[in-house]
Structure 1
Amino acid sequence: MSKSAIGVIGVGLMGAGMAHRLLAAGHPVHVVAHRNRAPVDALLDRGAQEAPDGTALLDRCDVLLTCLPNADVVEILADALVPSFRAGQIWIDTTTSRPGTSVQLAERLGERDAIFADAPVTGGPPQAEAGTLASLVGCVEQHCPAIEAIVGTYSKTIRRFGAPGSGHAAKLLNNLVTQGTMILLSDAYQCAAKIGVDPQALYDVMMTGAARSGTLQNAVGPALEGNYAGAKFTIANAAKDLRYAEALLAQSAPSRAPLAAVLADRLSALARAGHGDDFVSTMLKPETS
């Protein structure tokens, strides 16, 4: 039985790993140019095909998979591509996007008898390459098997959260916790350095108690050895995600939104100061405050 042809737009740190897993699973993969040519060429070396633009890519594929910087880019792409969707084609968006954007896209594609699913992921580039990401899916229930067949090539865990938009809502809540934790950890370890508290001892204790988390292990552990790239997620992206989370809370639980706003402000200030492209784990550096 032939595998669905997949078009991938956004082969950056995460998208490239997903595309490699799709190729390994036997799917014909088509890509378009990326600002960083290296991952495109690496995929072409493994058998992917390059399309000149998104419309040509969509014409060759059964499924479009996107991994883009933000919801605004998704919406611009949608305006260009939605008119070209055929009945039965699927768009799976793994961007950390606004839930409302996903709801609107599902409606627009539904008018063309096409399918939309939001399926952002948790995990980083190593997990994408290894196929051990977690996918947070929002889609019509009857479409779930078709979505799982694709995202299952790069995901160890797949959960459907409800209708289109719910996957992105779940991802924003997840990132509110993870990036909030990152900020708290950076504050705690900046303070420890200034008052003479042994950071290694603090880490050892945290790793044995309720403060233990993946963020603690992935970011602080390497930082104690001088490696501030343990959490490979940029400050600019984290700021964007917390802005989206703030808007989600303001709409659904207004009394809970102020803290998200404070956290987003912290990250936005760092981005304005020139740290937007730095990984969030660099907030542990004494000079990044």
Structure 2
Amino acid sequence: MSKVAFIGLGVMGYPMAGHISKRGHDVTVFNRTAAKAAKWVAEFGGQHAPTPAEAAKGADFVFSCVGNDNDLREVTTAPDGAYGALKPGAIFIDNTTDSADVARELHAAAKAHGAHFLDAPVSGGQAGAENGTLTVMVGGDADAFASAEPVIASFARAVKHIGPAGAGQLTKMVNQLCIAGVVQGLAEGIHFAQKAGLDVPAVIDTISKGAAQSWQMENRSKTMDAGQFDFGFAVDWMRKDLAICLDEARKNGAHLPLAALVDQFYSEVQAMGGKRWDTSSLIARLNRK
């Protein structure tokens, strides 16, 4: 078993760190709100530290799951950041969804410290984190991935090395682009069925057995039909992710007209008061008209 640090105990990080602890690893956690770190220790054992550097001291593996690029830099390369305490050969695994640029930047910075960095964003949402069934897409050096994979698998059902630094984040962008299009299509389909006076559950039960089937249909169609959105992956987070996608597309020349359109639709949902609604709330802007 390894000595592990976990930085960031939000709705994803809290259960992810818990799964690592349950596998028998010695886990030290850091969270900006110390009370939440103390709560985690009371639930899972281990210990909590006052700074990322203190958490990372002596760790074989350091995980992070924070908000954005700036948050990640703050817990890595800033004063009291984890990078100042990384031991030679330590592996830093970032599960945040952030830019490919910051992944490459921190990969190089880790090398300068004699350590390793893996960008390893996840898909599966809060339920996946709580159930230990996340999908993890990883960028970075193959040898570092081979060492870290068994620990990452503590909270995942699928872990895949995609390529060099930044490849994990780029793959997560593909994931979010696909989800955005599927959710908008599902929203329009259910909205159409409602306006046509159809039995929506019967429609979904039928078409989910065919080519229209998707995770979103299986897990979100009932709540979309009922107008329930107070759960799941927040619109604010999806807009952050789509902004990353659109920025990367401007750099690599990809054309993302649907993503840009759905991002605009999400801005309308935010204006409706839905900043923290689940991303399936795209149907709410259709049903208000």
TM over 0.5: yes
Q: How far apart, in 2, do the equivalents of 1:40 and 1:194 lie?
A: 50
Contact 1:250 1:257 in 2 (8 A): no
Q: How far apart, in 2, do the equivalents of 1:40 and 1:14 lie?
A: 17
- Match for residue 168 of structure 2? 167
- Match for residue 275 of structure 1? 274
Secondary structure of 1:159's match?
strand
Assess, with a 3 A threshold, how the Cα gap between structure 1 residues 37 and 262 changes in structure 2: closer, same or farther: farther
- Match for residue 21 of structure 1? 19
Normalised by the length of structure 1, the TM-score is 0.89
Secondary structure of 1:152's match?
helix
Q: How far apart, in 1, do the equivalents of 2:194 and 2:32 lie?
A: 41
Secondary structure of 1:91's match?
strand
- 2:260 corresponds to which letter in structure 1? A
- 1:198 corresponds to which letter in structure 2? D
Normalised by the length of structure 2, the TM-score is 0.89
Assess, with a 3 A threshold, how the Cα gap between structure 1 residues 124 and 28 changes in structure 2: closer, same or farther: same
Provide Cα deviations, 1:140-172, integer angstroms capped at 9, x if missing partner: 112121120220111121111000110110011
- Match for residue 126 of structure 2? 125
Assess, with a 3 A threshold, how the Cα gap between structure 1 residues 51 and 287 changes in structure 2: closer, same or farther: farther
Deviates more, 1:162-171 or 1:256-265: 256-265
Assess, with a 3 A threshold, how the Cα gap between structure 1 residues 104 and 272 changes in structure 2: closer, same or farther: farther
Deviates more, 1:162-171 or 1:181-190: 181-190
Provide Cα deviations, 1:248-284, integer angstroms capped at 9, x if missing partner: 2222243x22322222222233234431111113334
Q: How far apart, in 2, do the equivalents of 1:236 and 1:75 lie?
A: 21
Assess, with a 3 A threshold, how the Cα gap between structure 1 residues 30 and 287 changes in structure 2: closer, same or farther: farther
Contact 1:102 1:164 in 2 (8 A): yes
Provide Cα deviations, 1:197-245, integer angstroms capped at 9, x if missing partner: 3322331232022111001111113444665457x10101111111111
Contact 1:33 1:40 in 2 (8 A): no
Secondary structure of 2:158's match?
strand
Q: How far apart, in 1, do the equivalents of 2:75 and 2:224 lie?
A: 38
Assess, with a 3 A threshold, how the Cα gap between structure 1 residues 90 and 209 changes in structure 2: closer, same or farther: same
Contact 1:219 1:228 in 2 (8 A): no
Assess, with a 3 A threshold, how the Cα gap between structure 1 residues 20 and 106 changes in structure 2: closer, same or farther: same
Provide Cα deviations, 1:33-52, integer angstroms capped at 9, x if missing partner: 35494575144332121111
Deviates more, 1:77-86 or 1:108-117: 77-86
1:79 shift after superposition = 2.9
- Match for residue 29 of structure 2? 31
Q: How far apart, in 1, do the equivalents of 2:243 and 2:128 lie?
A: 25
Unaligned ranges ≥5, structure 2: none
1:83 shift after superposition = 3.5
Instruction: Confirm whether residue 197 of structure 1 aligns to residue 195 of structure 2.
Output: no
Assess, with a 3 A threshold, how the Cα gap between structure 1 residues 201 and 40 changes in structure 2: closer, same or farther: farther
The equivalences for 1:1-289 within 5 A come to: 3-35=1-33, 37=35, 40-80=38-78, 81=81, 82-224=83-225, 227-228=228-229, 232-254=232-254, 256-285=255-284
Q: How far apart, in 2, do the equivalents of 1:49 and 1:277 lie?
A: 31
1:30 shift after superposition = 1.1
- 2:168 corresponds to which letter in structure 1? G
Instruction: Provide the aligned length of Structure 1 versus Structure 2.
Output: 285
Instruction: Give percent identity, aligned residues only.
Output: 26
Provide Cα deviations, 1:92-143, integer angstroms capped at 9, x if missing partner: 0001111111011101111111100011112122322332221101111121
Contact 2:5 2:63 in 1 (8 A): yes
1:288 shift after superposition = 6.3
Contact 1:66 1:95 in 2 (8 A): yes
Provide Cα deviations, 1:35-87, integer angstroms capped at 9, x if missing partner: 49457514433212111121211225222111112223112323312333332
Assess, with a 3 A threshold, how the Cα gap between structure 1 residues 173 and 40 changes in structure 2: closer, same or farther: farther
